[in-house]
């Protein structure tokens, strides 16, 4: 009966018992909303709801109980184990549709908020905040930091309107973000034409140096391909350094995940010393990635505020 009410507006999957309901919920295409009868063969609705809420994959799916049990303690039990709503039989079809619509709208709003959070915070940090209500600063013994900026950016900025400038830079950084994610790197922030990414935090990764160099080479390859088909030429220089860092959330109203430590400063200086469309790495990064790439020694380069440091170019 309930399927008949809903199928005119929604795609409905029916389960004859609790085990089938769990199977559908844990599938590759889980439902956006689950309506459960308390009285079912095998596992009852309460047991199914408990299992749904105890599983990371299914715990955020809203559950509405549809039942003939109308005692206050029945409703209380449903809410205590995680139900979103409770509708008693006999039910009014219009009320059922209205409540389903309301909860699906809430699901949509929650997903929009999650997408917004994912654009500013790493997924692990978001999950920590969901699980414990906080994400504490964390020390990492060794991660790799990438700095990139656009060569001749000031000259480019005079050749186009502000709207065009932002549109093109956004397109490039969106491509960099995809490349970073594909290589298990995390974009931390952009500052004007500068791009800062890390690998090995907040998810620890023993291959952080290899991964971030791969990402850097793919970013330059993307720019080369883009320049071959676009009138305006964008060129970058990239610097990478590896070392200890602290990562954590900054701010209490406007959250920002940021990284702190001398490793960031050194990576920035390594980038400044690099050349157009080349990747320069510190000796620490070189040692971690030696054998995976071909490097060209630059010798000792005097880095501002740091002093001489052995640097290497990654050979294309």
* pLDDT, tens digit (0-9, with 9 covering 90-100), for 270-297: 999 999 999 999 999 999 999 999 999 9
β-strand pairing of 85-88 with 63-67? parallel
CB atoms within 10 A of CB 150: 20
Please give the DSSP secondary-structure letter assigned to residue 281: E
- CA dist 81 to 71, 102, 300, Å? 16, 21, 63
Q: What is the distance between the alpha carbons of residues 172 and 27, in angstroms, rounded to a whole number?
A: 36
- Indicate if the alpha-carbon torsion angle 5, 6, 12, 14 is positive or negative: negative
Highest mean pLDDT among 33-37, 163-167, 251-255: 163-167
> What confidence score (pLDDT) does residue 200 get?
94
Q: What is the distance between the alpha carbons of residues 137 and 261, in angstroms, rounded to a whole number?
A: 13
- Indicate if the alpha-carbon torsion angle 52, 57, 62, 64 is positive or negative: negative
Q: Give φ, ψ of 119 to 5 degrees.
A: -80, -10
The yes/no answer on whether domain 134-314 falls in CATH 3.30.70.1230 is: yes
CB atoms within 10 A of CB 159: 11
Q: Which residues have a Cβ under 8 Å from the Cβ of 132 and sit 6 or more positions away? A: none
Instruction: Give per-residue pLDDT as tens, 157-175.
Output: 888 888 999 999 999 999 9
- The CATH number given to 2-118 is 3.40.50.2300
Residues of the chain with CATH 3.40.50.2300: 2-118
> Looking at the predicted structure, is the pLDDT value of residue 181 above 80?
yes
> Looking at the predicted structure, is the pLDDT value of residue 4 above 80?
no
Output the pTM of the full model: 0.71
> What confidence score (pLDDT) does residue 296 get?
96
- Which of 69-83, 103-117, 180-194 is predicted least confidently? 69-83
Residues of the chain with CATH 3.30.70.1230: 134-314
Q: What is the distance between the alpha carbons of residues 71 and 91, in angstroms, rounded to a whole number?
A: 15
């Amino acid at each position: 009966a309930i399927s008949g009410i809903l199928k005119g507006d929604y795609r409905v999957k029916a389960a004859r018992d609790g085990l089938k309901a769990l199977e559908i919920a844990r599938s590759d295409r889980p439902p956006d909303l689950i309506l459960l009868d308390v009285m079912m063969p095998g596992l009852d609705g309460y047991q199914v709801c408990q299992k749904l809420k105890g599983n990371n994959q299914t715990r955020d799916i809203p559950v509405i109980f549809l039942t003939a049990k109308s005692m206050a303690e029945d409703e209380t039990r449903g809410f205590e184990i995680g139900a979103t709503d409770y509708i008693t039989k006999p039910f009014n079809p219009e009320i059922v549709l209205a409540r389903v619509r309301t909860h699906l709208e809430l699901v949509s709003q929650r997903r929009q908020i999650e997408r917004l959070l994912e654009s500013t915070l790493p997924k692990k940090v978001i999950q920590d905040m969901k699980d414990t209500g906080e994400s504490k600063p964390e020390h990492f013994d060794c991660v790799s930091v990438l700095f990139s900026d656009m060569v001749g950016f000031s000259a480019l900025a005079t050749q186009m309107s502000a709207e065009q400038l932002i549109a093109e830079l956004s397109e490039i950084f969106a491509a960099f973000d995809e490349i970073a994610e594909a290589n298990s790197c995390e974009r931390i922030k952009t500052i004007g034409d500068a791009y800062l990414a890390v690998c090995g935090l907040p998810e620890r990764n023993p291959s952080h140096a290899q991964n971030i160099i791969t990402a850097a080479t793919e970013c330059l390859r993307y720019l080369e391909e883009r320049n071959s088909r676009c009138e305006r030429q964008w060129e970058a220089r990239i610097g990478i350094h590896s070392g200890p860092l602290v990562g954590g959330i900054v701010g209490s109203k406007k959250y920002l995940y940021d990284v702190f430590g001398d490793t960031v400063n050194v990576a920035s200086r390594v980038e400044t010393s690099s050349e157009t469309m080349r990747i320069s790495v510190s000796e620490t990064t070189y040692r971690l990635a030696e054998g995976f790439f071909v490097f060209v020694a630059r010798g000792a380069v005097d880095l501002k505020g740091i002093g001489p440091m052995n640097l290497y170019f990654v050979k294309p």
